[in-house]
Amino acid sequence: MEKNMMALFHYEDDFIAAATKLKESGFDRMCCMSPIAIHEVQKVAGLGKSPVRRFSLIGAILGGLSGFALATICALVFILPTGGRAIIAVPPFLVIAYEMTILFGVLATLLGFHIVSGLPAWHDKPYRVETNIDRFSLVLGFGPDDDPSLAEEIMRAAGAEEITELEKPE
Amino acid sequence: MAEYREPSYAEVNRDILRTLLETGPRYWILLGFTSTIAVVCFFVPWMYQLNVGVGASGMNRNAVWGTYLSNFIFWIGLSHSGTLLSAVLHITQSSWRKAIYRSAEAMTLFSLMTAGCFVMVHLGRVWFVHWSVPIPNEMGLWPNFRSPLLFDVMAIATYLTASSIFIYMGSVPDYAAVRDASTGMRRRLYTIFSFGWRGTEREWHTLGWAYTFFAVFVIPLAVSVHSIVSWDFAMSLVPGMHHTIFAPYFVCGAIFSGTAGIVTLMYLLRRFMKLERYIGEIHLDNLGKLLLVLSLIWSYINILELFTGWYSGSSFEYEALKFKLFGYYAPLYWEMILFCAFVPLLMFWKKIRLNWNIMLVIAILINIGMFTERFIIIATSLPRKFLPDAFGFYFPSMVEISITVGSFAIFTTLFLIFIKWTPCVSIYEVKETLQPLRRRAV
């Protein structure tokens, strides 16, 4: 069976040091859990600009177009001239487009959040309650070429207070 | 005086989760009281009005709008500051926002819901509410997208959706904390609410980006919502309403009353949820400064509005202005000026800004003033349009007064439910303001 390991850290800098060292040693299947966002760890994990921004942009553009289309099509389906005003009245329709730009942008960002983060993820995954309070944890998955004893050594040297072997895959 | 000690991460979890997980009899009594008032003062008179017709209110020709619309603007206004302030402070990376933004955002959400109730009440035949929804032309229905009333439907629906998503997404890591601290049915519920959050680097990274985008979307949205509400008035030709200054006037007034609302809420949360450690003087001081600046801007716009009427060259506009300043409702106008322009000047003194009790009184007075503002916009304009023989007066009926009182009970009930459902202070963001848990000093 595939071997997994979880290490618990008390200090944030120990945790960052362990993650950095493990990454440098070639351990790629790593998941870092913390009670707050830690940008150094995100950098170690190679997370740069998030693809969420593409969802936001596409959603906003689609929203703007749909808003204008909604107002225009409604006006064309039931033509009602009032006081010589334009049937397709651009300034008021732009207000509708503006609101729809934001609405679709927000909804697309929400969709992007779920797709990129992989949430919801209600199935059982390695997790320690303490990591949502005041501990930091690293979960490592090992491939056939990886050396678990080296990983354990790195984590102990960095200051891990507890290391456990897991049966659940990350 | 006891020396202040920064809480540890574990203490933050314990202190904030306590507000959710431990519920005393005082809470249930208060919840029972506010929900009873909501039913008796809001829903019963509304049912009565549905039964006998809108004539049960004081609205009539020419005053076809009345207290319901004043309430609508008031609650929309109150909703303004929460999400907007939270978003602006998030973008500008102001760390003091972190302890107060969750409740402020909740205030936005529940104010919007309360405002929505007034749309229903005002409509009269509420069962036709779907006619205002911009659906394609079915049943001969013509959604007029040139009308600010339809802009309003779009704007408020968008604002409600965006605010709900904004507060929910910011709460996901805290729902996970509630999940971890609870058992049984509550644990199962919060497992669903938290989407299985574990706090992995990818989850934090994605949340950070998504949350920033939500903030970026929410800021122009919030500004547009109250501008559009102001156009409901300003795009009419009614003297006293037909002013181009109305959009910034409404937006400024909305943020002003919303910030005063936040001060009131912070006072109550600090006092009754025992959150003194998290909601402190820095929040009060900063909110006080913000209120002061907003009050000055609001006063400036009010003076401009007077000049707009004065220099308009229109006798109708001049008459409307004269009636507002010296007519039947003049005491209300000057009360508004006193509460919203002069009382806030007290906040020039730091001692006043740091006194919770005085700040509570000032915040309440500001909101009384702002409620009055919304009332006189309608009461001094709509019943006195152009023809003097059609001039009239508007007085709210007992049904309207009761429904107004009931709306405050609805808001309080919703907020009381909220504080037992979501941590009213953000756990993870408060932790970010503390000293990092590092072995070596940074």
Q: Which residue of B has its CA nearest to A31?
A: B200
Check CB contact of B210 with chain A, cutoff 8 Å. Answer: yes
DSSP 3-state of A7: strand
Find the closest chain B residue to A37 by CA distance: B204
pLDDT, mean over chain B: 89
The pair of structure tokens assigned to B136 is 């394609």
pLDDT level of residue A61 (50, 70, 90 thresholds): very high
B97 located within any domain: yes
B155 in reach of chain A (CB within 8 A): yes
Asked if A122 and B191 come within 8 Å (Cβ–Cβ), the reply is yes
Cα–Cα nearest to B382, from B50, B12, B69: B69
8 Å CB contact of A106 and B217: yes
Which B residues 87-146 touch A at CB under 8 Å? 134, 136-137, 142-143, 145-146
Residue B28 has pLDDT above 70, yes or no: yes
Quick one: pLDDT at residue B2?
54
Q: Which positions ≥6 away from A20 have C-beta within 8 Å?
A: A40, A44
pLDDT at B334: 95
Residue B183 has pLDDT above 50, yes or no: yes
CA distance A160 to B5: 28
B55 touches chain A (CB under 8 A): no
Query: From A115, which residue of chain B is nearest by alpha-carbon distance?
Result: B206
pLDDT over 50 (residue B420): yes
The minimal CB distance from B146 to the residues A34, A38, A89 is found for A89
* Percent of chain B whose predicted confidence (pLDDT) is above 70: 96
Which strands make up the sheet holding A162-166, listed edge to edge?
Answer: A30-33, A136-141, A4-9, A162-166
- For chains A and B, CB pairs below 8 A equal 193
Q: What is the pLDDT of residue B85?
A: 83
Q: Is A98 on the interface with B (CB under 8 A)?
A: yes
A7-39 pLDDT tens trace: 999 988 888 989 999 888 888 888 899 999 998
Task: Provide the residue type at B225 as one letter.
Answer: V
Instruction: Note the pLDDT tens digit of each residue in B75-113.
Output: 998 888 788 888 888 888 887 888 888 888 899 999 999
Q: How many CB atoms lie within 10 A of CB A58?
A: 14
**Domain assignment present for B439:** no
- Residues paired with residue A33 on neighbouring β-strands, in sequence order: A137, B200
The answer to whether the CB atoms of A77 and B155 lie below 8 A apart is no
Domain ranges, residue B354: 9-130+144-433
Instruction: Give the count of beta carbons closer than 10 Å to the beta carbon of residue B140.
Output: 6
pLDDT of residue B1: 47
Helix (H) or strand (E) holding B118: helix B101-123
Q: B217 and A71: CB-CB below 8 Å?
A: no
Residue B401 neighbours by CB under 8 Å, 6+ apart: B67
Q: Is A38–B204 a contact, with Cβ atoms under 8 angstroms apart?
A: yes
Tally of domains in chain B:
1
Annotate B167-191 with b (16+ C-beta within 10 A) or e (fewer).
bbbbbbbbbbbbbbbbeeeeeeebb
Cβ-defined contact of B143 to A37 (cutoff 8 Å): no
Which residues 318-337 in chain B show a CB within 8 A of chain A?
none
pTM of the model: 0.91
The yes-or-no verdict on residue B442 having pLDDT over 80 is no
With an 8 Å Cβ cutoff, is A53 touching chain B? Answer: yes
What residues of chain A, 139 to 158, have a C-beta less than 8 Å from chain B? Answer: none
Alpha helices in B194-245 (DSSP H): 201-234
Q: What CA–CA distance (Å, rounded) separates A18 from B203? A: 20
Residue among A31, A96, A114 whose CB faces B200 most closely: A31
Q: Tell which wins on pLDDT, B43 or B391.
A: B43
Residue of chain A minimizing CA distance to B154: A99
Q: At residue B298, does pLDDT exceed 50? A: yes
